[in-house]
Amino acid sequence: MSIETQLHDTASSQEPIIDVKNLQTAFFTDKETILAVDGVSFAIRPGQTVGIVGESGSGKSVTARSIMRLIESPGRILEGSSIRFTRTGTVQTFATKFDGQVVDVTKLENEYSPAQLLEDPSVDATPQEFDCDHVSEVSLADVLASGYADDLGIIDEDDCVFVTGGTPQNPTDGFVEITRVSGEAKRLMRGGRIGMIFQDPLTSLNPVYTVGNQIKESLRLHQGLRGREATEEAANLLEAVGIPDARRRVEEYPHEFSGGMRQRAVIAMALACEPEVLICDEPTTALDVTIQAQILELLADIQEERDLAIVFITHDMGVIANVTDKVNVMYAGEIIETAGVERLFENPKHPYTRGLLESIPGSQTGEKLRTIDGNVPTPTEPATDCRFAPRCPKEFDECTQIHPELVPVDGEDEDHVTACLLYPEDRSTPQAVEYHQRQARGGEDR
Amino acid sequence: MSSQWRYFAMRVLLMIPVLFLVMTMVFLIMRLGPLDPVSAILGPEAGAGARADIKERLGLNKPLWQQYIDFMWTLISFDLGQSWIIQRGLSTRELVAARAPRTIWLGFWSITLPLFVGVPLGFYAGLNSNSLGDYFASFMGIVWQAMPNFWLGIMLLAVLRQTGPGGQFGFLPNWYELGPTTQSLLGTPDLGFMSIGWLAVIPIPVGFDIWVFLSALKQVAPAAFVLGSALMVTEMRIGRTATLEQVHSNYVETAKAKGLKGRTIVWKHIFRNAMIPMLPVMFSEIGVLIGGSVIIEEVFAINGLGRLFFQAVYQNDMPLAGSLVFVFTIIALLFKILEDFLYTVIDPRVGFEGER
């Protein structure tokens, strides 16, 4: 298929549409605090498919649900996390619609400086959390958006539109902070800007309403269509996702659809909102292989047609290779390796990624299937070591004492990074370990 | 679509053998049991001649199969026979017509409690699970359910009786003077608040006396409260479970991801799905209502069908008791049909025989 080649030319040069920065989502149970997502950062660009891959319990789905703001009590997105929707058109729409929730960052920059805010005793943040080496690199928007400044009374709790260029009435630059949206703004973001497809098509449709009814619900909400017009559009959407005899099918109930059909209907429902980003949380896991291929093809077609940004979550390396442009490998709440899809499959660096690729049954020779022994640990405390160390074939002493940072594999290229003490590979292991330690402290040697 | 209604029609047809079976059972239980209507009519010291005479007149000396056919025919033809003992010679139809309105009146007010308090409370508890309100409602529910209705009825009477001047519960408002003044806690409500005029053959209400209506309501209120309270708790608990199950289902997450309002999700999506397991529970309460009315009408001295049945069994009035069971069964089956109908309307999957 051609999505990969077609997108490689344009995608990397484009500005991200969603920028996830230092996302931390934790679940607070009576017994313990589970850091399901622990400091994840990545960007999503229009027309590009970003893959998130990992075992069960690695935090993939929680990442997706955090972007959708579907995390419910006892779960919470922690202070310091930032998910930015940066498309200017959306920022303008939100700034006009929710004019009481706009923050004029340019104006505030005259009054406050980031350095001054970070020194305030009530702000518990370090420049490293904003992916900066020094205080001077931190921008005011970073500090405000991540929620650190709420206690200082600079911005209100429900302020979510940050304008960094132009005026609040007509912003030319800025972002909508997804971790801060609430109420009407949150509902406009969900569906209308970011759509989501869930794992189990059998249960993600309401059994007591017709498929058409549920699609029309989206159409009415986000496009204002009603009555006959909406029915017409719902049938068109079903046709667009490859459901034959769509005009009759609109009137049918989910139980009259097969599994693959239902997933198509769910996709149609997500598309009805005309989102700019589509999050697919294991959309093909519950389907058999032939249907899986059809659904993947459908998603590729839709992406091409609508220039959608797609976040694709799966544990299936084969699917990842097929559909994505860029891959984030997650382990125990952290991204441990990021690279372009071809590079990752040709040249995986992190021992975990290698293990994952080696355990694909088809690619192996020999009697026994090679696997990674053990399970993903449940992260309950901030990492002070490598969380993969207990299962790692290349583990050495420092692995249990030093938390590896994401570093470029060859020391320079930011397109392929991994969090392993063995890298960058142009340094000897003691040097690399030292490099990681310095990075963790803020890399003051640079 | 059509398979759904075929299924419904089947369910209705299946009611006929059920009715037949129930009546056969009732016949057997009455004839084989210790009921002795002859002694009840004549008293225990009657002579053999008089006994044989009465037996002859009541048809009790016929062979059992013939008695069975007579019994069934009386019911199927809706003749329903007549009372032997309680109101000797009065036809069952007249008795039912006179007493049924009181029982319906009691039943109507009994279900308001579960329907308008129990169900909403259940939904509230399900939507706000593990909140303080939920814990409180669930706890009170268990306490409430632990009180059997005959006991609760007597306790309620004891308390209300003491609310008058000088009573132990004098600090409560005096029940006798609350609203329309009543003489007694016990007794049959006077239902003459609606005067009916006739337009050709169609009855139309022409007058309404609010005061009579209120006193009829007040007369039946304690009984309805007791009868309804057990049902209220059942509905609350089932409602909570049903709602809770829906709240965590995937389609709710899908609906949220579409950007739907919380209110729409609750009322459009959760409510209808939660109703599906609720319906059978609500309708099974019809049985509880009928059974409960037998005890409660006796406790509160309301001359309704339940009390009539109690007396009929107690005083060996065989044909009356049999006919009343027939009437109760018909009522229960009619509600069952209504339940199936509503079920078919609410859940499109009913009667669907495809792959799931």
Q: Is pLDDT of B86 > 60?
A: yes
Comparing A325-339, B18-32, B202-216, the range with the smallest average pLDDT is B202-216
What pLDDT is recorded for position B355? 39
DSSP state at residue A310: E
What average pLDDT does the segment B174-187 reach?
Answer: 78
Q: Which burial class, exposed, middle or buried, applies to B42 when counting CB atoms under 10 A from its CB (0-12, 13-18, 19+)?
A: middle
What pLDDT is recorded for position B181? 75
DSSP state at residue B91: B
**Least Cα separation, residue A400 to chain B (angstroms):** 39
SS3 B3: helix
Tokens 């002795």 sit on residue: B36
Separation CA B146–CA B155 (nearest Å): 14
What pLDDT is recorded for position B332? 87
Task: Look up residue B148 and give its amino acid.
Answer: P
Separation CA B172–CA B168 (nearest Å): 9
- The whole-model pTM stands at 0.80
Residue of B nearest to A256 (CA): B354
What pLDDT is recorded for position A205? 92
Shortest CB distance from A203 goes to which of B250, B256, B276? Answer: B250
What pLDDT is recorded for position A5? 43
Comparing A57-61, B13-17, B179-183, B215-219, the range with the smallest average pLDDT is B179-183
Distances (CA, A) of A384 to A36, A245, A375, A405: 16, 57, 19, 11
What pLDDT is recorded for position A122? 73
Residues of B in contact with A196 (CB under 8 A): 254, 257
**Least Cα separation, residue B10 to chain A (angstroms):** 22
Closest by CA position to B240, among listed B346, B120, B112, B115:
B120
Tell whether B272 is within 8 A of chain A (Cβ).
Answer: yes
A201 is written with which tokens?
């098509």
Whether B349 sits inside 8 A of A207 (CB atoms) is yes
Q: Please list the ranges in chain A whose pLDDT falls under 50.
A: 1-12, 444-446
Chain A residues within 8 A (CB-CB) of chain B? 68, 70, 187-192, 195-196, 198, 200, 203-210, 217-218, 221-222, 253, 255-256, 258, 266, 269-270, 273
Residues of A in contact with B250 (CB under 8 A): 198, 200, 203-204
What pLDDT is recorded for position B2? 67
Whether B254 sits inside 8 A of A273 (CB atoms) is no
Using CB atoms and an 8 Å cut-off, which of residues 225-264 of chain B contact chain A?
249-251, 253-261, 264
Shortest CB distance from A253 goes to which of B259, B273, B348? Answer: B348
Residues of A in contact with B253 (CB under 8 A): 70, 198, 204
Closest by CA position to B77, among listed B23, B140, B137:
B23
Separation CA A113–CA A303 (nearest Å): 41
Task: Look up residue A72 and give its amino acid.
Answer: E
Residues of B in contact with A191 (CB under 8 A): 257-260
What average pLDDT does the segment B285-308 reach?
Answer: 85
Mean pLDDT of chain B: 84
Whether A208 sits inside 8 A of B272 (CB atoms) is yes
Task: Look up residue B173 and give its amino acid.
Answer: P
Separation CA A206–CA A191 (nearest Å): 17
**Least Cα separation, residue B13 to chain A (angstroms):** 26
Shortest CB distance from B250 goes to which of A200, A256, A270? Answer: A200
Shortest CB distance from B354 goes to which of A189, A256, A270? Answer: A256
A270 is written with which tokens?
């997500």
**Least Cα separation, residue B257 to chain A (angstroms):** 5
The string over B157-187, giving b where at least 16 C-beta atoms fall within 10 Å of a residue's C-beta and e elsewhere, is beebbebeeeeeeeeeeebbeeebebeebee
Provide the number of CB pairs (under 8 Å) joining chain A to chain B.
Answer: 83
What pLDDT is recorded for position A334? 92
Q: Is pLDDT of B349 > 50?
A: yes
